């Protein structure tokens, strides 16, 4: 029965690869126009779940990150909170270095002790440079040591185009990042620290009798936007990382080098609208879901469930989900023993001639060596060509 199922799956995949959709089905698909022109130096549109890039310009080039630097600062602070090394209730004493910071400020007072949670809000909502330095000093003892932690985390992420010299994004020709790297930090914050992400959607924050608005204008213009961070320097221009969720689909948009606050908001809105209007995201498989039963020889069981070690999402033009082709290639003759989580093949998802996702297929359980009779029987079947 299992052989029958596998043969039917093989036949289905073969037929699917040769199938040409009829005109009536193609008529129901959404035609995807080219991306709109964007007034910015660089930009990127990426689906949060699938990771697929839908729009891009100079995404791996190095630029001054301005206050988008504070995304990495926040990630480090969140990591220390999760580990229990610091707490939201910690009272953080304001140093002279933090107090003297200019640019965007929370207006904290020299020598005063402030709850860490308020400093986080001041950094995230108001982009306060003074709050940011106070946080860095509290976590690492000095901003310089905190910056070394930022660069270590950038290396853990595998970034090739990011280097930090300060925690705030204060202008420095030696500090740089890329649109791609910055987007991945933003995605990591949402994925790894959902309990803190809500601060990025708050529209204003008051401290010391001063109320300041969040500079992300999209929070007022688009109810589906729930973050994340703005930035500006004379060299970097107006920058924004924006995240929006409509239905079950979340998109991340980054824009660097706009000429004004108004422009960065309107152009980022164009990027997000393009993605939501013409694309859709689906989960194909869950983590550790059995996708196929693979034949195993000389083991204590005949078939091994195989799947993926993490969920698989794909983003496709609207109406083209049914045209996806799934191809699974595994070892031609799998022999026991097989360890759990061993890579045993490759899964490819194609749309037309384009491979849009490729993932390693793993064994979902272990298969031990069979007894003498099982080994001898499988050898005979192989020898007499009863099994391929």
As given in the structure block, the two tokens for residue 167 are 């925690």
What angle separates helix 129-140 from helix 116-124, to the nearest 10 degrees?
130
The domain limits of the chain are 2-24+286-383, 42-281
Domain 42-281 has CATH 3.40.710.10: yes
Tell me how far apart the terminal alpha carbons of the chain are, to the nearest angstrom: 16
Q: What is the dihedral of CA 234, 235, 241, 242, to 10 degrees?
A: 50
As given in the structure block, the two tokens for residue 47 are 């689906």
Distance, CA of 109 to CA of 44 (rounded, Å)? 39
**Residue pair 272/225 in contact by the 8 Å Cβ criterion:** yes
Q: Give DSSP secondary structure letters for 337-357.
A: -B-TT-EEEEEEEEETTEEEE
User: Of the CATH numbers 2.60.410.10, 3.30.465.10, 3.90.320.10, 2.70.70.10, which one belongs to the domain with range 2-24+286-383?
Assistant: 2.60.410.10
User: DSSP code of 37?
Assistant: P
pLDDT by position in tens, the chain (length 388): 334 334 443 433 433 433 444 443 444 456 889 999 999 999 999 999 999 999 999 999 999 999 999 999 999 999 999 999 999 999 999 999 999 999 999 999 999 999 999 999 999 999 999 999 999 999 999 999 999 999 999 999 999 999 999 999 999 999 999 999 999 999 999 999 999 999 999 999 999 899 999 999 999 999 999 999 999 999 999 999 999 999 999 999 999 999 999 999 999 999 999 999 999 999 999 999 999 998 887 778 888 999 999 999 999 999 999 999 999 998 877 877 889 999 999 999 999 999 999 999 999 999 888 676 656 565 666 666 655 4
- Catalytic positions, written as ranges: 67, 70, 127
Distance, CA of 388 to CA of 383 (rounded, Å)? 10
The answer to pTM > 0.95 is no
């Amino acid at each position: 029965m299992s052989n029958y199922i596998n043969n039917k799956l093989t036949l289905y995949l073969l037929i699917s690869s040769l199938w040409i959709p009829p005109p009536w089905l193609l008529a129901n698909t959404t035609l995807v126009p080219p991306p709109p022109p964007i007034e910015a130096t660089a930009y990127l549109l990426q689906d949060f779940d699938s990771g697929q890039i839908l729009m891009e310009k100079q995404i791996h080039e190095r630029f001054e990150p301005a206050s988008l630097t504070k995304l990495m600062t926040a990630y480090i602070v969140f990591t220390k909170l999760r580990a229990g090394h610091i707490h939201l209730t910690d009272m953080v004493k304001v140093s002279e270095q933090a107090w003297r910071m200019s640019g965007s400020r929370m207006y904290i007072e020299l020598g005063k002790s402030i709850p860490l949670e308020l400093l986080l809000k001041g950094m995230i909502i108001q982009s306060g440079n003074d709050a940011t330095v106070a946080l860095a000093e509290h976590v690492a003892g000095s901003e310089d040591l905190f910056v070394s932690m930022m660069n270590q985390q950038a290396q853990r992420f595998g970034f090739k185009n990011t280097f930090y010299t300060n925690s705030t994004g204060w202008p420095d020709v030696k500090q740089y990042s890329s649109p791609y790297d910055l987007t991945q930090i933003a995605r990591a914050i949402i994925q790894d620290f959902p309990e803190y992400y809500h601060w990025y959607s708050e529209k204003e924050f008051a401290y010391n009798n001063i109320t300041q608005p969040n500079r992300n204008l999209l929070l007022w213009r688009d109810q589906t936007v729930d973050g994340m961070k703005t930035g500006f320097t004379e060299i970097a221009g107006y920058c924004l990382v924006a995240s929006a969720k409509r239905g079950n689909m979340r998109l991340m948009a980054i824009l660097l080098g706009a000429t004004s606050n108004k422009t960065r908001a309107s152009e980022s809105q164009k990027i997000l609208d393009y993605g939501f209007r013409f694309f859709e995201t689906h989960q194909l498989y869950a983590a550790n879901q059995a996708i196929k039963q693979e034949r195993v020889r000389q083991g204590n069981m005949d078939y091994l469930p195989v799947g993926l070690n993490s969920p698989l999402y794909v983003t496709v033009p609207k109406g083209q989900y049914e045209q996806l082709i799934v191809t699974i290639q595994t070892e031609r003759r799998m022999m026991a023993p097989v360890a759990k989580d061993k890579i045993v093949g490759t899964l490819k998802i194609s749309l037309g001639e384009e491979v849009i996702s490729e993932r390693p297929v793993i064994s979902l359980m272990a298969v031990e060596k069979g007894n003498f009779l099982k080994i001898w029987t499988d050898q005979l079947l192989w020898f007499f060509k009863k099994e391929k």
